[in-house]
Structure 1
Amino acid sequence: MADTSDLVFDLVVIGSGPGGYVCAIKAAQLGLKVAVVEKRRTYGGTCLNVGCIPSKALLHASEMFAEASHSFADLGVKVTPELDLPTMLGHKDKTVKANVDGVAFLFKKNKIEGVTGTGRVKAVGEVEVTGEDGAARTLKTKAICIATGSAVAGIPGLDVAFDRDTIVSSDDAIALQKVPATMVVVGGGVIGLELGSVWSRLGARVTVVEYLDKILGPMDTEVSVAFQKLLVKEGFHFKLGAKVTAVTKTETGASVTFEPVAGGAAETLEAEVVLVATGRKPFTEGLGLAEAGVAMDKAGRVEIDAHYRTNVEGIYAIGDVVKGPMLAHKAEDEGIALAEILAGQAGHVNYGVIPSVVYTSPEIASIGHTEDELKKDGVAYKVGKFPFMANGRGRAMLHTDGFVKVLADAKTDRVLGVHILGFGAGDMIAEAGVLMEFGGSSEDLARTSHAHPTMSEAVREAAFAAFAKPIHI
């Protein structure tokens, strides 16, 4: 590691995930002298290395395999697909490499100093970096940004012995060397359903064990119920309202023991692989935050103000280590906002308009309030819905599952939330975000011309349904 003890930076970012690397690039673009500390040998954090990017590569590849197995014949394409798992995993690895190499290129392009090693706050204005060889260096800086992301949370109250082969976390589930005949997924959230989908499509019998009485926790209930029915049709099995009390390795794999939350007899499921996907926790260990006097909340997150400042002068935090949804794009938005603030500009994030996407097949995308939230808060609203079954492009592509749901204020017609269950939902949700950023109404959306035939016409039709009537049903 190069000796940078005598260098003085405007900003040192600890962590090179989406929040950290985007913050660094934006700050450099605004004229700041920036360094990024990363403990991995490659940039990109969990998202690019073992999370968002590799999982999406496998989701797409497995979806193509499933379509070739079940849908191509209906389109007049006769094939007999054969799974080549090593090549599929190779595609995943190539995708990861392209993305992490891309971040390294952007650092070089923007003259950002990349420092490999484990970083910690040594003192106000100083970050100590320890390399693999044990040598320590100190980076002197005007501002420090904590952007270390999150880590696998495990199961609260249980000591789960991950072995990377039989009892696995999401980090390991993207690299299984064979398709298990059976898999139990502990956790019915986004990560569990996405990775469960990958292995289900490739031939595993997947059972999801979830503590809540619905999958996808905070997701709009109507959407999550409809989606669960589609997953059941695809071969998923569900055990809802179930509290896991043990995850144990066996001679043939592993077992999961759980009991009904409402009370009742315990049950045990055996499987070749158990995936524990019960969420993530802020990664703040070993960063020297307590020693520096940085305040933390009860959930282990770094406490910040509206400008991402901690209670310690010169130390800031963004992304998964602070409050809010653990989403890569939320971290990116915060990174840009912080860079702008440090450069003397007015950085801002609208937390009411951050989309959430589940990259299964079909996808789910959500932005703004759910119907459950509006009911709970006593907000008068109206609903507009439109099914993809009535969408011409959906019929042409055999992607007719799901619907679009638009929630608008009953008096002003301002759109309060949009929820999409369907093919390409993750891309279609963007227009709802733009609309809501400008305080648009369902009528505004309905009167905006949409190309025909496209899947996005269903979004327009749902908007028509909210303020008047849909045209095509």
Structure 2
Amino acid sequence: MTEIISTNTLILGGGPGGYVAGIRAGQLGIDTVLVEAGPLGGCCLNVGCIPSKALIHVADEFHRIGGMAAANGEHSVGIKVSAPKIELSKTVDWKDGIVRRLNSGVGGLLKRSKVRVLNGWATMTDGKTAVVKTEEGEVTVKAKTVILANGSVSAGLPGLPFGGDILSSTEALSLDTVPERMAVVGGGYIGMELGMAFAKLGAKVTIVEATGAVLPSYDKDLVKPVLQRAKSLGIDIRLNTLAKGFEKGKLRVETDGKAETVEAEKVLVTVGRKPNTEGWGLEELGLDRDGPFVRIDAQCRTSMTGVYAIGDLTGNPMLAHRAMAQGEMVAEIIAGERREWDKRAIPEVCFTDPEVVQVGLSEAMAKEQGHEVVTGLFPFQANGRAMTMEDESGFVRAIARKDDHLILGLQAVGAAVSELSAQFGTLIEMGARLEDLAGTVHAHPTKSEGVQEAALKALGHALHV
């Protein structure tokens, strides 16, 4: 007999958006059921953000030690080492251990919030009912409110179907050995992050990008140091190049109409992600769409009463922290609170070497919107903390309106600048002005001093440059 569950709120998807919505709903006393077919945490925790950053960390450490060993076994700071070796299978085991810990943590948080979790595949039969296939049998869930948090999946290419030596980022993060040669199709943030990581682990990497630039969503000045670093790692970046197919260790490409081949043991396809819209009843619901995405309003409401949608299913930017913020907001709306999606700034971070972060408007975007702006740029070459970290590459830049000095955007490129993203977002969300930032005492020695100095520079009186 099919079990029937009646609940206030049903959440489809246990990724960052779904599980945060569940936790917050439970905290607010809302009877909630969450359905997830795979491990809790979704793509980000299991095969995306977390495992990729683990691999990037290992690659950085391996490359740093290898650089020391190459310098006759002695580093300039006085550390002596021998040539390192990488056992990628052990790296994967370590990475998987982190994922398991986080999976368990998410499950514990949901349990503490009294959210019932069903592990199985849910199919919506109408706007209030889902049939869930679990290992124990079929469960029908009836709810007053539904939150669609189905996430996204890797986008493929017709001539390069996933399987065998053609990998998505999921398979690339579970390789047992480092391929001697790897071709990466797509020069977005996933391709650049993983391409640089595998180059540091010893692979000969070729990045094939169909357009005229890598990391196209980032300001060109921010990308320049990344390109310089990629070149020093021996990465071959081919722009305006189409990937056509793969046979017998050779990737067939076409550059400006000229056919060529790229030798590769593995081909990593990173041409973006697409919303997960198939197999769970979206077509039957008949929700309004915005291209491939589900259309939502400022409260994440869909065209069907009582049905909300959050995260990658609803459009760009397809980022875990956007999904989390939406999930928390929707739970509070369901609880009767007055909330609306009016975020001025969602940080974009790329964990390349060096890291890149941008929040708010670039200078070009601000001018396009009609703003007259002032900017201030502070190079990390003048920052004491950067010197002690042996990485002085990059800079911090502040963009503000000229008339009242309202901060419109903040950008940085350099080692560990991802940690500045929260400060950037806070400044813009709070409506800070250059004077507010310049007058805030920043701890010394830290890289955050560069943020203050960028504001001082825009005001015309930087202290250390």
Residue 312 of structure 1: which of 285, 304, 309 is its match? 304
Kindly tell me the number of residue pairs found equivalent between the two proteins: 459
Task: Give the structure 1 partner of residue 7 of structure 2.
Answer: 9
What letter corresponds to residue 57 of structure 2 in structure 1?
H
Distance across 2 between alignment mates of 1:309 and 1:128? 22
Task: Give the structure 2 partner of residue 92 of structure 1.
Answer: 95
Task: Give the structure 1 partner of residue 209 of structure 2.
Answer: 210
Secondary structure of 2:290's counterpart equals coil
Task: Give the structure 2 partner of residue 177 of structure 1.
Answer: 176
Q: CA deviation at 1:374?
A: 2.4
Task: Give the structure 2 partner of residue 150 of structure 1.
Answer: 152
Task: Give the structure 1 partner of residue 20 of structure 2.
Answer: 22
Residue 251 of structure 2: which of 241, 248, 255 is its match? 255
What letter corresponds to residue 267 of structure 2 in structure 1?
V
Task: Give the structure 2 partner of residue 357 of structure 1.
Answer: 349
Distance across 1 between alignment mates of 2:341 and 2:417? 23
Task: Give the structure 2 partner of residue 67 of structure 1.
Answer: 64
In structure 2, stretches of 5+ residues that fail to align are: 69-73
**Residue 415 in 1 paired to residue 407 in 2?**
yes
Q: Deviations over 1:273-299 (max 9, x none)?
A: 11100000000111212212212222x
Residue 432 of structure 1: which of 424, 427, 446 is its match? 424
Secondary structure of 2:196's counterpart equals helix
Q: Deviations over 1:177-196 (max 9, x none)?
A: 11111111111111111111
- What does 1:98-113 align with in structure 2 at a 5 Å threshold? 98-113=101-116
Residue 114 of structure 1: which of 101, 106, 117 is its match? 117
Secondary structure of 1:130's counterpart equals strand
- What does 1:272-283 align with in structure 2 at a 5 Å threshold? 272-283=265-276
Q: CA deviation at 1:371?
A: 2.4
Distance across 1 between alignment mates of 2:307 and 2:280? 12
- Retained in 2: the 8 A contact 1:27–1:343? yes
Residue 286 of structure 1: which of 255, 279, 302 is its match? 279
Secondary structure of 1:360's counterpart equals coil
Task: Give the structure 1 partner of residue 382 of structure 2.
Answer: 390
- What does 1:195-234 align with in structure 2 at a 5 Å threshold? 195-234=194-233
Q: Identity rate of aligned residues, in percent?
A: 39
What letter corresponds to residue 242 of structure 1 in structure 2?
T
- Retained in 1: the 8 A contact 2:299–2:341? no
What letter corresponds to residue 320 of structure 1 in structure 2?
D
In structure 1, stretches of 5+ residues that fail to align are: none
Distance across 1 between alignment mates of 2:59 and 2:419? 19
Distance across 1 between alignment mates of 2:160 and 2:85? 35
Q: Deviations over 1:210-266 (max 9, x none)?
A: 12211111111111133212221222221112233x12131xx24131233xxx423
Residue 370 of structure 1: which of 355, 358, 362 is its match? 362
Q: Deviations over 1:163-188 (max 9, x none)?
A: 2x411111111011111111111111
Distance 1:51 1:119, change over 3 A: same
More moved, 455-464 vs 77-86? 77-86
What letter corresponds to residue 385 of structure 1 in structure 2?
L
What letter corresponds to residue 181 of structure 2 in structure 1?
T
Task: Give the structure 2 partner of residue 50 of structure 1.
Answer: 47
Q: CA deviation at 1:132?
A: 4.5
Secondary structure of 2:217's counterpart equals coil
Distance across 2 between alignment mates of 1:4 and 1:136? 7
More moved, 344-353 vs 216-225? 344-353
More moved, 377-386 vs 66-75? 66-75
- Retained in 1: the 8 A contact 2:311–2:318? yes
Distance across 2 between alignment mates of 1:117 and 1:256? 40
Secondary structure of 1:61's counterpart equals helix
**Residue 268 in 1 paired to residue 291 in 2?**
no
- Retained in 1: the 8 A contact 2:187–2:209? yes
What letter corresponds to residue 383 of structure 2 in structure 1?
N
Q: CA deviation at 1:437?
A: 0.9
Two-structure CA RMSD over aligned residues (Å): 1.6
Q: Deviations over 1:44-96 (max 9, x none)?
A: 11111111111111111111111222258222111122212222111111011
Q: CA deviation at 1:3?
A: 6.0
Q: CA deviation at 1:4?
A: 4.4
Distance across 2 between alignment mates of 1:51 and 1:110? 26
Distance 1:407 1:172, change over 3 A: same
TM-score scaled by structure 1?
Answer: 0.94
- Retained in 2: the 8 A contact 1:366–1:429? yes
What letter corresponds to residue 231 of structure 2 in structure 1?
V
